[in-house]
Amino acid sequence: MMMTMMKTKRKRMTENILLKMMNIGKSFASVNVLSNVNFELKSGEVHILAGENGAGKSTLIKILCGVYNEYKGEIFVQNKLCKFNSVHDAARTGITVIHQELSLINELSVVDNLFLGREISGKTGWLKRSVQESEAKKLLARLGLEIDVNKYVEEFPMSVKQMIEIAKALAIDAKIIIFDEPTSALNEPDVVKLFEIIQNLKKQGCGIVYITHKMKEIYNIGDRITVLRDGNYIGTDSKDNLLRNKLVNWMVGREMTQQFPERIPKLGKTKFQVDNCSIDDPAGGPFKVVKDISFKVREGEILGIAGLQGSGNSELFNGLFGTYGKNISAKMIIDDIEYKIGTPAQSINRGLTLLTNDRKLTGLVLNMSIADNVTLPSLKSFSKNGFIKRNEELNAAKICSERLRIKSHSVLQETQTLSGGNQQKVALGKWWETNPKILLLDEPTKGVDVGAKHEIYELMNEWTNEGMAILLITSEMPELLAMSDRIIVMHLGQVTAEFTREEATQEKILNAAMGG
Ligand SMILES: Nc1ncnc2c1ncn2[C@@H]1O[C@H](COP(=O)(O)OP(=O)(O)OP(=O)(O)O)[C@@H](O)[C@H]1O
Ligand SMILES: [Mg+2]
């Protein structure tokens, strides 16, 4: 009797375990990026994979889902030793990833993306288009999304793209679903929706691996947490045991109690003034995306521009920078001098630069080195008589790389082989090199780890102390509240509220962002 009970109990325990990765090791061209890493996933749990930028999280996941098939160690899925040769191979075993950089094909329709590689065809071999369409609609409906599935993916905002990517995971009936920083492009209400979806997946018995740099999310959605540091396994514990300070200590290897550095702004005269700014829809739609907005930013000030998806805040930045050409009307004044909107290059010359929120599209040239990226917009200062002063260029890149603590083998490493957070730091370094007077930052700490975030906040304080004016867009509310001296809130292209640092609260901002 006792024996049978023990046996069934043991059976239940092992059945519960969906995945075991043991002693995983991986190196790229003799550089070790993972060694002896262990990871386990149970059915019905959200297991957080945490660690600093470059710790090896995405690499571990890429091994799990068949992107890399040369590695050390063993992977067991439901007690069966597995070796995946491709992403398809892993998907057939029920493993799927919602990647850090989404893997949808923008130039294909929603339905084509959902059925890519597993098209439904009839007896004659013809695609059953209508079957696919109705299947696609059903999948999206499970996520509460009603969209035209024949539209190209590129026509949808990031939050919808994210849902389409999740629908892809549902479509293959995945048991193990991995989210690699899923909320980096989502706003608060979308995050709530995503968390509901995850809770549902848990109930259905799925195991979720969740990678994030956001503390709030770790403790909100996580059940257990595993920490990697410099490619090594540090430990695993339940979220109730692993409190914030200990977790940060595991991640960065030192004590770090305070998330935001103290900010004491030194405000000077008006640095940047924008009056009656309106911007046409860059996608050609009939409505303006920014409608008659006016604001001023002072020397040394950080002005937060809050807003949800569709608020027009990112479009405002792009319009001011010159990304949309002349599709903007506004009176613009930098240092008391009025000027007309020009190209991005002219903006940079005037001292106005923009860090975009999509480093993949507009932030970086991924197949170029760190050094080449960092010095790209300021190349003029590194050339003489038409020749590039390569040594000076490399030196500047090294200084910048150390200042921002970019984790790389050398400044000549190709940017696309850097971890996500380190790519973000390269993008920031690139604009820092242009010595801007006014810096427009759209999600500057997207994908950046706790330690490096702190460093970026300190840089923002330092730069504003030297007289720079910063405009800040961030979907991380604590960051917006801690770093902004003043906040204006946008809704559907218009300003719905303005708060001083003292007045601002999360509730007031969200309320105004939803139209007040
Ligand atoms: N294809 C590659 N070639 C060379 N090095 C690589 C390659 N891919 C990753 N690396 C290196 O492996 C290390 C781990 O990167 P990985 O992307 O796994 O980090 P991460 O933990 O996901 O970081 P982040 O939080 O920034 O996304 C980094 O130092 C990175 O530069
Ligand atoms: Mg990563």
At 104-162, the pLDDT tens digits run: 888 899 999 888 877 666 656 566 778 889 989 988 888 878 899 999 998 888 778 88
Q: 409 pLDDT exceeds 80?
A: yes
Angstrom CA distances, 388 to 369, 375, 384, 385, 429, stand at 16, 11, 6, 8, 19
- Which range, 59-63, 361-365, 433-437, 455-459, is most confident? 59-63
Chain mean position to CA 98: 12
Is pLDDT of 6 > 60?
A: no
Give the model confidence (pLDDT) of 180-201 as tens digits. 888 877 777 788 888 998 998 8
3 state SS of 55: coil
Residue 263 confidence (pLDDT)? 95
Q: Which residues contact 59 (CB under 8 A, 6 or more apart)?
A: 26, 33, 34, 68
What is the pLDDT at residue 379?
A: 78
Identify the CATH assignment for 263-351+436-516 out of 3.40.50.300, 2.120.10.30, 3.30.1060.10, 1.10.150.650.
3.40.50.300
Burial 134-173 (b: 16+ CB within 10 A, else e): ebbbebbeebebeeebeeebeebebbbbbbbbbbbbbbbe
Residue 159, ligand 1, Cβ within 6 A? no
* Non-local CB neighbours of 37 within 8 Å, separated by 6+ positions: 21, 23, 24, 25, 56, 60, 73, 228, 231, 232, 233
Q: Which of 405, 417, 423, 448 to mutate to test the pocket of ligand 1 (most atoms within 8 A of CB)?
A: 417
> ∠ at Cα 184 (291, 430), nearest 5°?
80
Q: Atom 13 in ligand 1: which residue has the minimum CA distance?
A: 54
**Tokens describing residue 377:** 């917009």
Please tell me the distance from the alpha carbon of residue 395 to that of residue 322, in angstroms, as a whole number. Answer: 30
Q: Measure the CA dihedral 400/401/405/411, to 10°.
A: 180
What are the DSSP calls for 343-387, one per residue? -HHHHHHHTEEEE-S-IIIII--TTSBHHHHHHGGGGGGGEETTE
Given a cut of 90, is residue 437 above it in pLDDT? yes
Report residue 29's pLDDT band, with 50, 70 and 90 as the boundaries.
Answer: confident
Fold agreement (16-252, 263-351+436-516): yes
Q: Which numbered ligand comes closest to the C-alpha of 406? A: 1
Which residue's CA is the nearest one to ligand 1's atom 8? 417
Closest residue by Cα to atom 7, ligand 1, is 417
Average pLDDT score, the chain: 89
With a CB cutoff of 8 Å and minimum separation 6, the contacts of 255 are 245, 248, 249
Distance 179 CA to ligand 2 centre (A): 10
Section 49-74 average pLDDT: 94
58 close to ligand 1 (CB < 6 Angstrom): yes
Q: What is the pLDDT of residue 75?
A: 97
| Residue from 284, 280, 431 nearest 347 by CA | 431
451 lines ligand 1 (CB under 6 A): no
Mean pLDDT of 156-170: 83
With a CB cutoff of 8 Å and minimum separation 6, the contacts of 20 are 38, 39, 40, 41, 75, 76
**How far is the centre of ligand 2, averaged over its atoms, from the C-alpha of 426 (Å)?**
15
| Closest ligand relative to 447 C-alpha | 1
- CA of 88 relative to ligand 1 center, distance in Å: 22
Closest residue by Cα to residue 28 from 364, 414, 365? 414
Mean pLDDT, range 2-31, rounded to an integer: 74
- Given a cut of 70, whether residue 5 has pLDDT beyond it is no
- List the residue whose alpha carbon is closest to atom 12 of ligand 1: 33
pLDDT, greater one: 303 or 421 = 303
For a substitution probing ligand 1, which of 418, 424, 446, 455 has the most ligand atoms within 8 Å of its CB? Answer: 418
**Fold of domain 16-252:** Rossmann fold (3.40.50)
Question: What confidence tens digit (pLDDT) does each residue in 30-49 have?
Answer: 788 999 999 999 999 999 99
Tell me the CA distances in angstroms from 4 to 1, 12, 16, 245, one per residue in order. Answer: 5, 12, 18, 43
Task: Give residue 418 CA to ligand 1 midpoint distance, Å.
Answer: 5
The domain ranges of the chain are 16-252, 263-351+436-516, 364-434
Q: When comparing pLDDT for 431 and 489, which is higher?
A: 489
Q: Which of 199-203, 337-341, 438-442, 512-516 has the lowest mean pLDDT?
A: 512-516
311 lines ligand 1 (CB under 6 A): no
- Predicted confidence band of residue 404 (pLDDT cuts 50, 70, 90): confident
